[in-house]
């Protein structure tokens, strides 16, 4: 006999079947229409209904009752239990892939025990034919037990394999990329073909805290493989609720963002700054914040002793409660200048240079004159790495520039006259010839070399047009034809002459030579929107690796430009170090990747040799703010993201064994029902009944009308 998945529909069908019976007992007398003349003398009466003791047109009534009952049965999803045992005998085991969340939020109290308990109870329920694989995921997925390993291990010794999870599974500090992990694992599962025969079912078991910051959105935009079912096992921390902090840096001031999870029970927390030794500095700051909200707090000054970090107090789960604050001062970009010393003379290039550099708030450049008004030469400060020459220098000044160039400093020379070129002859390309150009009306910059490091920021087509800059006067540079290392022509004038060239003379310093100035006498260059970015790029090239403090999230990878040097040392927050020599000795790709990922929160320091000594770059690595949003997502979240209820079953840790058995039986029944599709037969039978009913009722109607006509 049949069983039903949704018995309600069958019951409803049975109840509704009584309606045709009642309607056939109650008969409204059909009123014949007759023409009449004295209608205005008639008084209207309501049509009468008569009740009969036996139904009228009982074959019609039976057809109608049958159609209603069959429809109800079709909707109640019938199936036959008989075939399941046979199927089980024929089919082999199921393929189970377990994904265990190892993100930072899984560090909360009470979660580890639940994870292991759920995993082992799942492993215990597997039969010998089932194939298991286990992987952990946070921002990336890594396998702990592969399916091949499971299959090759004899069933007696598999318990030892399972014990490995207890040792190997440890939450890291990364954020949770649940959707990525689920999709990639499900994709592998769906493509996988069983070696030993047909697999009855492919199940992806995800053991997770299913927190709000799980990043599930990708599930919505991706197609889920139909043959992979999800079994979501949710674990919950005890006690619930959480709050976390993350660092924001804006305009060189330190601000802390406090995030409270939606299930927090507290609404007041304290922020305690501490020094480099971990000792509290001053009184804690009280922060009021409602559950589910976040708030940004500007840290007050801690006086003489700078704060090395901040800790959030009164939160039950401390994994995201400590951040480090930047201690290193932002280095000053000292730029030397040779030329006019009057900062307010708008006819001179220095005036525009000062204004363009003042607008740069991130690099904080400082322009200083290397020659005083009375002609005294000031040696460039030690930290100076860029010297800009805008006027004709004296002979000692040229010598000073030569030595600066030799020591690795960069030069930007803007030639405003042929005399200036003569004075700077030792610094110009070898055997070149500079003459005043004959400009008809105005000249333009063309053909920028966008591959050159100086112009690379302008490579986008939106910014690569320099032709809007009008040049009234410029110098003509004729380069020697037999130069072994010819200068690189970065920009040309529209007549083909070089406009800006780059070359090196001696040492590691580079010379950028412009054949025109940016002051009004020569051009409109200073007015152009290309001028400040060009100077900024020059600063970046002069101070390559200590451009800014890096605030990153756990899981970030170090940019390769930091590791371009051959000798560097990376110090982790726990003071362990990694050096370039270790990296080159280890040729394994996996090891390389793991090393370069910043996998701990705290202060990382990268030390590199530099021309001016040792250079240190500091990385402040925080736990992702999403990990602090620990409130569990609603049970229907997977369905809301487009996964059908058949695919995604959610089990929380409160489910009893009896409930689990019931759920399993129901899943089996659903599988049987979806395989047998008996509802189609019922639906067809109902349609046949309705068709027969239509034919019969039409026949009866025709017979009645014939009788009436005869009457």
Helix runs in 410-513, H state only: 418-423
Which part of the chain contacts other proteins (CB under 8 A), choosing from 35-43, 60-68, 483-491, 630-638?
35-43
**Tokens 């990364």 — which residue?**
174
- Rounded Cα distance, 375 and 468, in Å: 37
Q: Which is nearer to other proteins, 40 or 462 (CB)?
A: 40
CA distance 621 to 503: 39
Binding residue (CB under 8 A) for other proteins from 19, 21, 36, 121: 36
Interaction of residue 560 with other proteins, rule CB under 8 A: no
Looking at beta carbons only, is 43 or 462 nearer to other proteins?
Answer: 43
As measured in angstroms, the least distance from the Cβ of 40 to other proteins is: 8
**CA neighbor of 633 nearest in space, from 278, 192, 292, 312:** 292
Q: Which of residues 7, 15, 25, 42 is near other proteins by CB under 8 A? A: 42
Query: Per-residue b/e over 282-313, b at no fewer than 16 CB within 10 Å?
Result: eebbebebeeeebeebebeeeeeebbbbbbbb
Residue 31 or 160 with smaller CB distance to other proteins: 31
Residue range at the interface with other proteins (CB under 8 A); choices 1-9, 46-54, 133-141, 685-693:
46-54
Stretch near other proteins under the rule CB under 8 A, chosen from 39-47, 182-190, 426-434, 582-590: 39-47
Sheet holding 253-260, edge to edge: 243-250, 253-260, 294-298
DSSP state of 632: B
Token pair 């089919």 in the structure block, residue: 91
The reply on whether position 31 binds other proteins by CB under 8 A is yes
Question: Is residue 39 a contact residue for other proteins (CB under 8 A)?
Answer: yes
CA distance 437 to 218: 61
Choose among 629, 575, 580: nearest CA to 605. 575
Q: Does 51 bind other proteins (CB under 8 A)?
A: no
User: Between 221 and 705, whose beta carbon lies closer to other proteins?
Assistant: 705
Instruction: Dig out the tokens for 306 from the structure.
Output: 């700078």
- Closest approach, Cβ 28 to other proteins, in A, equals 11
* Closest C-alpha among 602, 615, 533, 535 to residue 574: 602
What is the closest distance, in whole angstroms, from the C-beta atom of residue 708 to other proteins in the complex?
A: 11
> Shortest Cβ distance from residue 32 to other proteins (Å)?
6
Q: Is 373 in the site for other proteins (CB under 8 A)?
A: no
Cβ partners under 8 Å of residue 578, min gap 6: 569, 570, 572, 595
Q: Hey, what are 612's tokens?
A: 């001016």
253 binds other proteins (CB under 8 A): no
| 49 lies in the binding site for other proteins (CB under 8 A) | no
Applying CB under 8 A, among 43, 51, 191, 462 the residue interacting with other proteins is 43
- Out of 45, 86, 277, 657, point to the residue binding other proteins (CB under 8 A): 45
C-alpha to C-alpha distance for 659 and 293, rounded to whole angstroms = 36
Choose which of 10, 20, 33, 624 interacts with other proteins (CB under 8 A). 33
For the CB of residue 60, give the shortest distance to other proteins in the complex, in Å.
23
CA–CA distance, 270 with 313 (Å, rounded to integer) = 5
Q: Give the pairing of strands 309-313 and 268-274.
A: antiparallel
Q: How many Å apart are CA 178 and CA 682, to the nearest integer?
A: 42
Give the contact letters, 461-480, x = binds to other proteins (CB under 8 A), - = no. --------------------
| Cα distance between residue 60 and residue 53, in whole Å | 17
Near other proteins by CB under 8 A: residue from 1, 37, 279, 574:
37
The token pair that represents 523 in the structure block: 């051009």
Q: Which of 2, 10, 26, 46 binds other proteins (CB under 8 A)?
A: 46
CB closer to other proteins out of 43 and 191 = 43
User: What would the two tokens of residue 532 be?
Assistant: 């400040």
47 or 303: CB nearest other proteins: 47
Q: Does residue number 41 form part of the binding site for other proteins (CB under 8 A)? A: yes
Tokens 């003489």, located at residue: 304
Is 53 a binding residue for other proteins by CB under 8 A? The answer is no
- DSSP letter for each residue of 154-209: -GGGHHHHHHHHHHH----SPPP-HHHHHHHHHHHHHH---SSS--S-EEEEEEE-
Q: Which stretch binds other proteins (CB under 8 A): 29-37, 317-325, 378-386, 550-558?
A: 29-37
Smallest gap from Cβ 678 to other proteins, in A, equals 48
* Segment lying near other proteins (by CB under 8 A), choices 34-42, 162-170, 253-261, 701-709: 34-42
- Could you tell me the smallest distance in angstroms from the CB atom of residue 46 to other proteins? 7
Residues lying near other proteins in the complex (CB under 8 A) are found at: 29, 31-48
């Amino acid at each position: 006999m049949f069983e039903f998945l949704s018995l309600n529909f069958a019951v409803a069908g049975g109840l509704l079947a009584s309606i045709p019976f009642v309607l056939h007992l109650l008969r409204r007398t059909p009123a014949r229409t007759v023409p009449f003349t004295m209608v205005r003398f008639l008084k209207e009466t309501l049509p009468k209904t008569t009740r009969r003791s036996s139904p009228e047109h009982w074959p019609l009534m039976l057809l109608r009752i049958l159609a209603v009952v069959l429809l109800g049965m079709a909707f109640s999803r019938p199936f036959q239990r008989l075939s399941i045992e046979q199927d089980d005998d024929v089919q082999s085991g199921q393929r189970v892939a377990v994904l265990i969340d190892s993100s930072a939020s899984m560090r909360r109290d009470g979660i580890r025990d639940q994870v292991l308990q759920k995993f082992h109870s799942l492993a215990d329920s597997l039969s010998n034919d089932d194939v298991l694989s286990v992987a952990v995921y946070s921002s990336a997925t890594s396998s702990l037990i592969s399916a091949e390993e499971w299959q090759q291990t004899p069933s007696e010794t598999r318990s030892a394999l399972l014990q490995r999870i207890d040792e190997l599974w440890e939450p890291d500090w990364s954020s949770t990329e649940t959707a990525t992990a689920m999709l990639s694992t499900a994709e592998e599962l769906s493509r996988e073909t069983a070696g030993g025969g047909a697999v009855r079912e492919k199940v992806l078991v995800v053991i997770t805290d299913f927190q709000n910051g799980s990043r599930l959105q990708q599930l919505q935009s991706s197609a889920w493989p139909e043959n992979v079912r999800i079994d979501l096992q949710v674990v919950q921390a005890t006690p619930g609720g959480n709050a976390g902090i993350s660092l924001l840096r804006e305009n060189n001031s330190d601000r802390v963002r406090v995030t409270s999870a939606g299930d927090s029970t507290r609404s007041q927390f304290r922020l305690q700054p501490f020094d480099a030794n971990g000792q509290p500095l001053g009184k804690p700051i009280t922060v009021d914040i409602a559950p589910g909200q976040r708030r940004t707090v500007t840290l007050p000054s801690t006086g003489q002793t700078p704060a090395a970090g901040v800790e959030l107090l009164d939160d039950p789960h401390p994994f995201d409660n400590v951040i480090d604050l930047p201690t290193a001062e932002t280095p000053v970009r000292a730029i030397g200048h040779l030329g006019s010393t009057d900062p307010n003379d708008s006819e001179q290039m220095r005036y525009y240079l000062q204004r363009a550099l003042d607008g740069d708030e991130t690099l904080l450049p400082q322009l200083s004159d290397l020659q005083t008004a009375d002609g005294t030469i000031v040696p460039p400060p030690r930290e100076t790495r860029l010297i800009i020459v805008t006027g004709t220098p004296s002979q000692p000044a040229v010598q000073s520039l030569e030595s600066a160039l030799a020591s690795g400093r960069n030069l930007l020379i803007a030639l405003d006259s042929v005399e200036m070129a003569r004075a700077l002859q030792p610094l110009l390309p070898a055997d070149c010839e500079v003459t005043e150009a004959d400009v008809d009306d105005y000249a333009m910059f063309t053909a920028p070399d966008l591959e050159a490091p100086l112009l690379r920021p302008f490579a986008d087509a939106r910014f690569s047009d320099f032709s809007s800059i009008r040049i009234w006067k410029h110098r003509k540079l004729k380069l020697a034809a037999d130069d072994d290392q010819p200068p690189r022509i970065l920009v040309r004038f529209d007549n083909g002459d070089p406009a800006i060239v780059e070359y090196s003379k001696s040492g590691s310093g580079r010379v950028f030579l412009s054949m025109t100035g940016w002051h009004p006498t020569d051009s409109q260059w200073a007015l152009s929107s290309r001028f400040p970015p060009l100077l900024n790029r020059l600063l970046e090239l002069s101070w390559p690796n200590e451009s800014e403090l890096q605030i990153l999230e756990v899981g970030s990878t170090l940019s390769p430009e930091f590791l371009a040097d051959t000798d560097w040392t990376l110090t982790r927050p726990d003071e362990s170090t990694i050096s370039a020599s270790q990296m080159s000795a280890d040729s394994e790709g996996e090891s390389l990747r793991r090393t370069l990922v910043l996998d701990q929160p705290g202060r990382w320091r990268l030390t590199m040799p530099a021309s001016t000594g040792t250079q240190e770059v500091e990385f402040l690595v925080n736990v992702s703010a999403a990990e602090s949003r620990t409130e569990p997502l609603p049970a229907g979240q997977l369905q809301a993201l487009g996964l059908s209820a058949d695919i995604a079953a959610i089990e929380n840790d409160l489910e009893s064994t009896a409930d689990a058995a019931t759920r399993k039986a129901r899943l089996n029944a659903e599988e049987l029902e979806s395989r047998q599709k008996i509802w189609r037969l019922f639906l067809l039978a109902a349609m046949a009944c309705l068709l027969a009913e239509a034919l019969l009722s039409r026949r009866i109607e025709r017979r009645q009308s014939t009788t009436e006509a005869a009457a």
